[in-house]
């Protein structure tokens, strides 16, 4: 056989099959034209119906995608997170199809997956109602029963534009013109077609359990200058049991919503006449804040921090030098002074702390220097993203900046992590997750600072985490451009994740503001700067605490620790004597001497989530004792006032977060 003929045979043989490598490392030969579904069936012993999608060479794809050459295939089955997101994405498409079938005048916008489920935006003159949601959900179930295949269609940008113009979908046309490439992918199920990158489930019949949850308004593409659309939210899970569990959790979360409890417990308010995103702390809320602040201050002084305080505004020149004016300008409140000079309400505290450090030349003998401040900052957030105490425009940040040498970095970071862990556990967050965010080694141009600085900083974070024996997840490519960081996410009583402490290296600001110290050789050297927050913002932290404890703060944090409840007017005098003794012992208490039945007073104190109720009647007045009720355990019997005070003082001293 000639060499030419031999070459043709090899080429023909190569094109007649594909080689597939599976997660267990095995290698398989499949016929040409085989799909991700065919390869996945090898993993699940032919039960391809249990596979929802696949990852081919690391890319998520539909099962119908044909395989080419040699590739690695990993099937996706329930209950993995990627399979759940694809399920939710397909459910969003079914929602859009149901809306179009029921309300042909509705124009479809976007329908992404979000943390708790999915949503889809629609333009329609008539507002959707809760009754409409029931109809839409019913039609979605019909579409699921039809078991419509989801077919991927690829066409030119021009063809896709004409397709959606003909279907009177101007929002889709705009998206294609903005985001579509030369080849545009769409998905079709029955008569419904959507511009989408995918991937999706094989058919509508593969959906699990779903529920439409609410309706809201949303500006098209998040732009307040664009039309207001109607957004339908929903969620989906693999099984009805998972959905029911989630909906139960949602109901419990509603009961714990800090906005509702903040009003009911008279902790804080947001006054629209003053502007959204600005928190007014009422006396009880301010008491909780003061207790946290005092604890925070004492702990920082004990650990060698120096407290500082900087102005709320400064010349814009500082923010130009720091670089914030270039990349953060839209989030900054700027105004003109009397002489025409521009000023900025500080959006962060770091440049101010740096100026204090630079107020005179620093020697290595002074380092480390740890500055800490409960500093109020202001950020120009859009009204649509404001959310109670959790997303605001003015907030007080528990900020600290550590200036140290390279040799001190590991110990300083380890100490900061230990402080953060101590703070979380003191406030009752016994569960938390830790992320180590590092640079993407394949995209070095994204990051400020020298590679050697990054090597040092990332290794310092790793060594610090090992030193405090804290497990973590390494997040490659998630570092900020100015340095790597450690993030601790606290899990509340419902298992929800909250943004918590962060420890962050910064190579950008020290370089831009020329922050140096004099080393042992009497030469100036760049300082190592670490940002550190253990609570985050006071507003968000207290909002999270309200939800974590459902408003029932532990004794040491409770704004009112005890209510004294006289049963009769004859006991009122003794009630006020008890109040004075409690106050003298450092306990926060109130007397409810209204002309009401004691049962009513007890119920009121329970609604206010007061830890203890001290009931005084003729018998208690005569004996000199008090009858104690706990908000969680009910009647605790009678005891002496001195004994009760001693017990409370011990719980406060130990910061016991259990009832």
- Sheet with 634-640: strands ordered across: 589-591, 562-566, 612-616, 625-630, 634-640
User: Which of these is catalytic: 97, 397, 408, 561?
Assistant: 397
Sign for the CA dihedral angle at 366, 372, 376, 379 comes to: positive
User: Which of these is catalytic: 391, 401, 532, 540?
Assistant: 401
350 is annotated as an active-site residue: yes
Q: Which residue has the tokens 């090992």?
A: 466
Q: Which residue has the tokens 């505004």?
A: 313
User: Which of these is catalytic: 186, 194, 200, 350?
Assistant: 350
User: Which of these is catalytic: 379, 548, 563, 601?
Assistant: 379
CB 234 within 8 Å of CB 212: yes
CB 657 within 8 Å of CB 427: yes
- Cβ-proximal residues to 317 (8 Å cutoff; 6+ apart), any chain: none
123 is annotated as an active-site residue: no
Q: What are the backbone dihedrals phi and psi of residue 416, each rounded to the nearest 5 degrees, phi first?
A: -65, -40
Sign for the CA dihedral angle at 342, 343, 345, 346 comes to: positive
User: Which of these is catalytic: 62, 194, 398, 399?
Assistant: 399
196 is annotated as an active-site residue: no
474 is annotated as an active-site residue: no
Count the neighbouring beta carbons within 10 Å of the beta carbon of residue 363.
Answer: 11
397 is annotated as an active-site residue: yes
DSSP assignment of 23-83, as one string?
A: TTS-EEEEETT-BHHHHHHHHTTT-GGGEEEEEETTEEE-TTPBP-SEEEEEEEETTSHHH
467 is annotated as an active-site residue: no
- Sheet with 394-404: strands ordered across: 306-307, 369-378, 394-404, 528-533, 497-506, 485-491, 431-438, 473-476
User: Which of these is catalytic: 531, 548, 651, 657?
Assistant: 531
User: Which of these is catalytic: 139, 362, 485, 563?
Assistant: 485
379 is annotated as an active-site residue: yes
Of 606, 566, 628, whose CA–CA distance to 265 is shortest? 606
d(C-alpha 504, C-alpha 464), whole Å: 13
CA distances from 160 to 67, 91, 194, 466, 658 (A): 25, 23, 10, 54, 60
Catalytic machinery residues = 350, 379, 397, 399, 401, 485, 531
């Amino acid at each position: 056989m000639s060499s030419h003929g031999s070459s043709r045979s090899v080429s023909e043989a190569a094109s007649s099959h594909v080689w597939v490598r599976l997660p267990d490392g095995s290698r398989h030969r499949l016929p040409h034209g085989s799909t991700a579904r065919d390869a996945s069936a090898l993993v699940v012993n032919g039960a391809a119906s249990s596979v929802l999608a696949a990852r081919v060479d690391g890319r998520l794809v539909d099962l119908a995608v044909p395989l080419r050459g040699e590739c690695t295939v990993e099937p996706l089955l329930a209950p993995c997170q990627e399979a759940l997101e694809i399920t939710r994405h397909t459910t969003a498409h079914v929602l859009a199809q149901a809306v179009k079938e029921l309300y042909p005048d509705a124009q479809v916008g976007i329908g992404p997956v979000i943390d708790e489920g999915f949503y889809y935006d629609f333009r329609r003159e008539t507002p959707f109602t809760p009754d409409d949601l029931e109809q839409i959900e019913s039609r979605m179930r019909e579409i699921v029963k039809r078991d419509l295949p989801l077919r991927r269609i690829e066409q030119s940008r021009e063809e896709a534009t004409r397709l959606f113009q003909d279907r009177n979908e101007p929002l889709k046309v705009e998206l294609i013109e903005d985001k579509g490439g030369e080849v545009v992918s769409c998905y079709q199920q029955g008569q419904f077609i959507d511009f989408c990158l995918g991937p999706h489930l094989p058919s509508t019949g593969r959906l699990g359990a779903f529920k439409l949850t609410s309706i809201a308004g949303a500006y098209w593409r998040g732009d307040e200058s664009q039309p207001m659309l109607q957004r339908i939210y929903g969620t989906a899970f693999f099984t009805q049991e998972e959905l029911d569990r989630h909906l139960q959790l949602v109901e419990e979360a509603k009961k714990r919503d800090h906005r509702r409890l903040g009003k009911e417990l008279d902790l804080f308010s947001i006054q629209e006449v003053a502007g959204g995103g600005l928190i007014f702390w009422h006396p009880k809320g301010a008491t909780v804040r003061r207790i946290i602040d005092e604890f925070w201050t004492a702990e920082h002084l004990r650990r060698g921090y120096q407290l500082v305080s900087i102005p709320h505004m400064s010349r814009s020149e500082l923010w130009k030098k720091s670089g914030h004016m270039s990349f953060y300008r839209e989030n900054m409140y700027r105004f003109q002074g009397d002489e025409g000079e521009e000023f900025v309400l500080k959006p962060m505290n770091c440049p101010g702390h740096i100026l204090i450090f630079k107020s005179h030349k620093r020697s290595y003998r002074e380092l480390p220097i740890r500055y800490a401040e409960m500093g109020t900052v202001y950020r120009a957030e859009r009204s649509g993203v404001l959310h109670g105490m959790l997303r605001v425009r003015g907030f007080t940040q528990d900020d600290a900046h550590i200036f140290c040498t390279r040799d001190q970095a590991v110990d300083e970071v380890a100490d900061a992590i230990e402080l953060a862990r101590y703070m979380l556990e003191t406030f009752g967050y016994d569960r938390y997750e830790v992320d180590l965010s590092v640079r993407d080694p394949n995209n070095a141009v994204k990051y400020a600072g020298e590679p050697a600085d990054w090597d040092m900083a990332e290794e310092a974070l790793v060594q610090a985490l090992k030193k405090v024996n804290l497990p973590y997840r390494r997040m490659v490519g998630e570092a900020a451009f100015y340095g790597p960081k450690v993030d601790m996410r606290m899990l509340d009583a419902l298992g929800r994740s909250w943004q918590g402490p962060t420890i962050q290296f910064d190579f950008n600001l020290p370089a831009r503001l020329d922050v140096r110290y004099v080393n042992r050789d009497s030469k100036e050297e760049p300082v190592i700067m670490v940002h550190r927050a253990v609570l985050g913002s006071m507003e968000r932290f207290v909002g999270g605490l309200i939800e974590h404890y459902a408003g029932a703060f532990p004794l040491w944090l409770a704004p009112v620790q005890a209510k004294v409840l006289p049963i009769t007017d004859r006991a009122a005098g003794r009630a006020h004597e008890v109040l004075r003794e409690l106050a003298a012992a450092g306990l926060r208490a109130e007397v409810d001497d209204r002309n009401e039945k004691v049962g009513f007073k007890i119920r009121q104190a329970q609604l206010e989530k007061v830890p203890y109720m001290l009931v005084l009647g003729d018998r208690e007045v005569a004996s000199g004792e008090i009858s104690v009720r706990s908000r969680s355990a009910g009647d605790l019997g009678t005891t002496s006032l001195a004994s009760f005070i001693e017990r409370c003082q011990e719980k406060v001293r130990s910061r016991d977060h259990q009832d």
